[in-house]
């Protein structure tokens, strides 16, 4: 992350900027947790703790589902206070991947906006829509 400058794409009403600020705070808290949390007490293999740009994941025991609360940076977080997002740690100690993909599988259905939330709101704030634009010359390959 060091040496990488990101500039969020803002909309004219500024609504995305607030979400991006909360996401950055969440990311920082997660990275601190990942660094400071004691290692898992397990023999052999386990799934490594990580931040996947959506949620902060602790270490996982092989053959188990790992769940964490819905991220608090979501604009509809108050509507999914008791929701969880899930990943699966395989017996090999690696996070389960989506079928035909190199991306980890996760179930975030409990964290999705309800039908009462407008389609535009869902589109603006879906994890896939939170794109960052990197200015030329700001990406460090070190």
What's the CATH number where 25 sits?
Answer: 4.10.1240.10
- pTM as predicted: 0.71
Host domain of residue 17: 7-133
pLDDT bin (cut points 50, 70, 90) of residue 89 is very high
Is 141 among the domain residues? Answer: no
Is 2 among the domain residues? Answer: no
- With contact defined as beta carbons under 8 Å apart, do 132 and 7 qualify? yes
Predicted pLDDT at 140? 40
Average pLDDT of the residues of the chain: 80
55: left (phi over 0), alpha (psi -120 to 50) or beta: beta
Is 139 among the domain residues? Answer: no
Instruction: Tell whether the model's pLDDT for residue 78 goes beyond 80.
Output: yes
Is 64 among the domain residues? Answer: yes
Three-state SS at 46: coil
Predicted pLDDT at 129? 53
Predicted pLDDT at 130? 52
Instruction: Tell whether the model's pLDDT for residue 126 goes beyond 90.
Output: no
Is 93 among the domain residues? Answer: yes
Average pLDDT over residues 56-62: 97
CA distance 32 to 103: 23
Q: How many domains does the chain have?
A: 1
Three-state SS at 64: strand
């Amino acid at each position: 992350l060091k040496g990488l400058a990101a500039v969020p794409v803002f909309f004219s009403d500024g609504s995305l900027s607030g979400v991006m600020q909360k996401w950055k705070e969440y990311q920082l808290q997660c990275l601190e947790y990942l660094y400071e949390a004691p290692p898992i007490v397990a023999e052999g293999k386990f799934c490594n703790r990580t931040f996947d740009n959506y949620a902060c994941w602790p270490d996982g025991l092989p053959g188990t589902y790992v769940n964490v609360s819905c991220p608090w940076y979501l604009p509809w977080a108050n509507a999914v206070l008791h929701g969880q997002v899930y990943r699966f740690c395989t017996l090999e100690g690696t996070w389960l991947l989506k079928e035909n993909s190199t991306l980890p599988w996760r179930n975030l259905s409990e964290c999705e906006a309800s039908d009462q939330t407008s389609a535009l709101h869902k589109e603006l704030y879906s994890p896939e829509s939170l794109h960052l634009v990197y200015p030329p010359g700001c990406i460090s390959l070190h």
